[in-house]
């Protein structure tokens, strides 16, 4: 069980070859700082794709020495994105990272049928938060890719996140399927989906985790709140992964945790042919660094 995102660093085996990270549209301050830190810490081998002039100028301004890294000069952002995605597609890079480009642009490139990173699975976004008031790291999914997931999509989103948690050593993560209430209400689709997902987990149709829901947010993260409501649940108060009903709820929770709770966060798109770092442009360089750590473990 991890309490801090820094602890992910200990899981990286630095005796193995470094993963090659393709940064798409590289003249982005926070991305460059995070990539530089991961480079100097021996975690990744960067390939900076974008305007070489703008990238070099920015790196100089920031005092970052990228000696030994590769540059590919492509000043047109859409072409830089395509080049970066193709590099990963062709196995010339291991991780894709979004630089100064909008999230939907890079996600659409990733979904390109000819040269994208499709794997036949649903792609989904997982954020892992370090919140001072919670006793362990907590995953939140999906806050950035799947807009209004169906029941089938939610199964895939759980499977992607659970596989990631298993990979970092959390054997049977506890998944709370969120609703506005903890009872099934036939007019609230999120609660119906939650009940079905819980039953599917009990019947081993969703494995390697414990799924329970519907749970309201407070029951999911507080044993006291769950006890007050008389909820008997293995997950309540000890959740590892919060499954969001849709992107709006997910995005508002993400931003509330970052802005109100001052939480630290790492994020990754899972389920593709390679890990994809898609942090928001306003995320800090710490957050981007932790996301690179997450990708290097993926």
Least Cβ distance, residue 243 to ligand COD (angstroms): 15
Beta pairing class for 264-270 and 124-130: antiparallel
Least Cβ distance, residue 215 to ligand COD (angstroms): 24
Least Cβ distance, residue 187 to ligand COD (angstroms): 26
How buried is residue 163: exposed, middle or buried, by Cβ count under 10 Å (0-12/13-18/19+)?
middle
By beta-carbon proximity to ligand COD, the closer residue of 215 and 270 is: 270
By beta-carbon proximity to ligand COD, the closer residue of 40 and 282 is: 282
Nearest to 76, CA basis, from 115, 49, 110: 49
The structure tokens 């942090």 sit at 279
By beta-carbon proximity to ligand COD, the closer residue of 35 and 122 is: 122
User: Where do the DSSP E strands lie in 173-293?
Assistant: 174-178, 210-215, 241-243, 264-270, 276-277
Contact by Cβ (8 Å): 190, 235: no
Least Cβ distance, residue 57 to ligand COD (angstroms): 28
Least Cβ distance, residue 4 to ligand COD (angstroms): 24
By the criterion CB under 6 A, which residues form the site for ligand COD? 103-104, 107-108, 111, 122-123, 144-147, 251, 280
Phi, psi dihedrals of residue 47, rounded to the nearest 5°: -120, 110
By beta-carbon proximity to ligand COD, the closer residue of 86 and 174 is: 86
By beta-carbon proximity to ligand COD, the closer residue of 207 and 252 is: 252
């Amino acid at each position: 069980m991890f309490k801090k995102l820094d602890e992910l660093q200990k899981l990286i085996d630095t005796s193995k070859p470094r993963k090659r990270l393709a940064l798409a549209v590289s003249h982005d301050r926070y991305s460059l700082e995070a990539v530089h830190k991961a480079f100097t810490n021996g975690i990744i081998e960067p390939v900076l794709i974008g305007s070489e002039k703008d990238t070099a100028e920015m790196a100089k301004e920031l005092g970052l020495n990228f000696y030994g890294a590769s540059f590919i000069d492509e000043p047109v952002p859409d072409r830089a994105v395509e080049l970066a995605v193709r590099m990963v597609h062709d196995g010339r890079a291991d991780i894709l990272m979004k630089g100064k480009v909008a999230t939907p642009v890079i996600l659409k490139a990733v979904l390109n049928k000819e040269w994208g990173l499709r794997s036949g699975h649903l792609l989904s976004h997982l954020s892992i938060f370090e919140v001072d008031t919670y006793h362990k790291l907590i995953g939140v999914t999906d806050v950035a890719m799947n807009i209004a997931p169906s029941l089938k999509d939610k199964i895939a989103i759980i499977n992607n996140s659970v596989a990631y948690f298993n990979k970092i050593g959390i054997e049977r993560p506890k998944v709370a399927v969120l609703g506005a209430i903890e009872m099934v209400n036939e007019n609230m689709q999120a609660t119906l989906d939650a009940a079905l997902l819980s039953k599917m987990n009990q019947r081993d149709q969703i494995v390697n985790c414990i799924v329970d829901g519907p749970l309201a947010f407070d029951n999911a993260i507080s044993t006291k709140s769950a006890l007050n409501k008389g909820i008997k649940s293995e997950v309540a108060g000890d959740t590892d992964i919060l499954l969001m009903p849709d992107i709006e709820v997910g995005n508002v929770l993400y931003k509330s945790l970052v802005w109100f709770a001052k939480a630290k966060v790492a994020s990754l798109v899972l389920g593709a042919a390679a890990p994809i770092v898609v942090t928001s442009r306003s995320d800090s360089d710490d957050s981007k660094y932790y996301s690179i750590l997450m990708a290097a473990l993926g």
